[in-house]
Amino acid sequence: MPDHDAAREGLPNGGGSALRNVCVYCGSSPGADPAFAKAAEELGRLLAEAGLGLVYGGGDVGLMGITARSVLRHGGHVTGIIPDFLRRRENMLDAAQETIIVPDMHTRKQLMFDRSDAFVALPGGVGTLEELVEQMTWSQLGRHTKPILLLDVNGFWRPLIDLLAHMRLNGFIRAGLELNYGVAEKVEDLIPMMEASYRRRGGQENAAFIEEHF
């Protein structure tokens, strides 16, 4: 039986010496490939078994709902953060141990960041992409060193990875401003990669903002 005490204790600040809470960005749709839902289900189980709390968008639809319900089914802790105007549209998950209703998307994203020690992106749409790229940008600009991982289910993220390489090739991602992210092709590789990155990079917000990067 997993020990969830560390996950629960870590909820308020998303920092500390150990990886405790993982933010998962993913679609409010299950997607066209059944492998997406299977990966979400498996990720939820693995998070719960590792004693890692889930921080996510608070809905019970699509891959969001599949991931959260899997965490709960396997005895894990779920924190949902959802704007008031999305409570019906995304069918807010009432079963989560903690649900935070916020006034807008900006507050949602900030709280998801504050409550999390690492970020995982499953397949999703433009909302998932926007959340992922924002974390990449904050990391690039020295605002945090929290791990960022893509779960590349059946090559879903390959076009984005190719686009980032294209940006680098054309001089829009400069040396010294590299994007710090990892890519896992298998769900079971995510947590070991995340833990290794967290230990290596410290997992803490960087208070010293590097002004010359602007």
When mean pLDDT is compared across 36-45, 150-159, 164-173, the lowest value belongs to: 164-173
Q: Give a yes or no: residue 214 inside a domain.
A: no
Q: Give a yes or no: residue 128 inside a domain.
A: yes
Q: Give a yes or no: residue 8 inside a domain.
A: no
Q: Which domain holds residue 163?
A: 18-200
- Split at pLDDT 50, 70, 90, the class of 17 is low
Q: Give a yes or no: residue 7 inside a domain.
A: no
Dump pLDDT digits (tens) for 194-211.
Answer: 999 998 876 554 433 323
Q: Give a yes or no: residue 106 inside a domain.
A: yes
Tell me how far apart the alpha carbons of residues 115 and 21 are, in angstroms, rounded to a whole number.
Answer: 7
Name which residue leads in pLDDT, 175 or 147. Answer: 147
Q: Quote the pLDDT of residue 202.
A: 62
Question: What is the Cα gyration radius of the chain?
Answer: 16
CATH label of the domain that carries residue 175: 3.40.50.450
Q: Give a yes or no: residue 206 inside a domain.
A: no
How far separated are the first and last CA of the chain, in Å rounded? Answer: 48
Q: Quote the pLDDT of residue 211.
A: 32
Name which residue leads in pLDDT, 213 or 57. Answer: 57
Question: Helix axis angle, 34-49 relative to 62-73, nearest 10°?
Answer: 30
- Report the domain count for the chain: 1
pTM of the complete model beyond 0.75: yes
Q: Give a yes or no: residue 139 inside a domain.
A: yes
Q: Quote the pLDDT of residue 200.
A: 86
One-character DSSP codes across 134-182 = HHHHHHHTTSB---EEEE-GGGTTHHHHHHHHHHHHTTSS-TT-----E
Tell me how far apart the alpha carbons of residues 192 and 29 are, in angstroms, rounded to a whole number.
Answer: 27
- Split at pLDDT 50, 70, 90, the class of 143 is very high
User: Quick one: what percent of the chain has pLDDT higher than 90?
Assistant: 79
Dump pLDDT digits (tens) for 54-88.
Answer: 999 999 999 999 999 999 999 999 999 999 999 99
Dump pLDDT digits (tens) for 89-131.
Answer: 999 999 999 999 999 999 999 999 999 999 999 999 999 999 9
Q: Give a yes or no: residue 70 inside a domain.
A: yes
